């Protein structure tokens, strides 16, 4: 089973993200974290070109089946290979191609690529890597572009990105996500309810 996004240092990430809340002109939107990779299984810092593994491909296909029940009319994705492949699979049933948004790439740990991250802590800023402050600022700008474009007249916009991006997004809109919603390839619906945002997983219907 794919591990849940580690949450050491989450207080600092949340504080940075909530320092500038985002206003979205949307009633709802969809979010999908990429499928599993060997880097997830090995708990290493991943390169941008890290592909999905066989399990990740199956997870992306299952997510696509769940999302096929939604009226998806726009797909915005991180250009990192694992997210882009997941987005391509998810977009196919709707006859769409994803459009890239570089601002929603995962935090970049250039100096640590390939090294273990089992003791990962969001609050740390290792030398030669993107700082947490820079990451949150970049993601905020990227999400503003991805979700701040004119809302679809009908249907949903789907954002496909990464665990870290999901944490920033949730903090920015004031949503506390339970750990199970952080898992790879779990389709989420964000909805505005009574003026506040909420999120839920999209489950298979029986």
The pLDDT tens digits for 52-94 are: 999 999 999 999 999 999 999 999 999 999 999 999 999 999 9
The pLDDT tens digits for 2-42 are: 545 457 999 999 999 999 878 888 999 999 999 999 999 99
Report yes or no on 204 lying in a domain. Answer: no
Give the domain extent around 38: 10-192
For the chain, list the strands marked E by DSSP: 28-33, 72-77, 99-100, 156-161, 188-193, 196-201
Quote helix, strand, coil % in the chain, to nearest 5.
40, 15, 45
Say which residue, 204 or 112, is predicted with more confidence.
Answer: 112
Alpha-carbon torsion (33, 36, 37, 43), positive or negative = positive
CATH number for position 179: 3.40.50.1240
pLDDT of residue 184 exceeding 50, the answer is: yes
Contact 34, 5 (CB under 8 A): no
Q: What is residue 4's predicted lDDT score, i.e. its pLDDT? A: 52
Q: What is residue 6's predicted lDDT score, i.e. its pLDDT? A: 52
Report yes or no on 1 lying in a domain. Answer: no
Question: Of all residues in the chain, what percent carry a pLDDT higher than 70?
Answer: 96
Contact 173, 91 (CB under 8 A): no
Q: Mean pLDDT throughout 164-169?
A: 97
Q: What is residue 1's predicted lDDT score, i.e. its pLDDT? A: 44
Number of Cβ within a 10 Å radius of residue 29:
23
Of residues 199, 201, 200, 197, the one with CA closest to residue 23: 197
Report yes or no on 31 lying in a domain. Answer: yes
Report yes or no on 165 lying in a domain. Answer: yes
What is this structure's pTM?
0.94
Calpha distance 162→31 (Å, rounded): 10
Report yes or no on 122 lying in a domain. Answer: yes
Report yes or no on 76 lying in a domain. Answer: yes
Report yes or no on 199 lying in a domain. Answer: no
Query: In the chain, how long is the greatest CA-to-CA distance?
Result: 50
The pLDDT tens digits for 85-140 are: 999 999 999 999 999 999 999 999 999 999 999 899 999 999 999 999 999 999 99
Quick one: pLDDT band at residue 206, thresholds 50, 70, 90?
Answer: very low
Task: Work out how many domains the chain is built from and give that number.
Answer: 1
Angle 10-18/163-173 helices, nearest 10 degrees? 50
Calpha distance 201→7 (Å, rounded): 20
């Amino acid at each position: 089973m794919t591990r849940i996004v580690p949450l050491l240092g989450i207080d600092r990430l949340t504080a940075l993200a909530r320092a500038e809340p985002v206003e979205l002109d949307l009633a709802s939107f969809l979010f999908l974290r990429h499928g599993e990779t060997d880097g997830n299984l090995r708990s290493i810092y991943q390169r941008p070109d890290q592909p999905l593994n066989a399990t990740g491909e199956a997870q992306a296909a299952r997510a696509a089946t769940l999302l096929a029940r939604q009226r998806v009319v726009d797909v915005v994705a991180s250009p990192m290979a694992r997210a882009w492949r997941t987005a391509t699979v998810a977009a196919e049933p709707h006859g769409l191609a994803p459009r890239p948004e570089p601002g929603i790439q995962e935090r970049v740990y250039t100096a640590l690529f390939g090294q273990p991250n089992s003791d990962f802590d969001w609050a740390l800023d290792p030398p030669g890597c993107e700082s947490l402050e820079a990451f949150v600022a970049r993601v905020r700008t990227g999400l503003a572009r991805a979700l701040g474009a004119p809302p679809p007249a009908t249907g949903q916009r789907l954002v496909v990105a990464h665990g870290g991006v999901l944490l920033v997004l949730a903090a920015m809109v004031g949503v506390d996500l339970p750990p199970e919603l952080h898992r790879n390839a779990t389709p989420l619906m964000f909805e505005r309810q009574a003026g506040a945002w909420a999120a839920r997983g999209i489950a298979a219907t029986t």
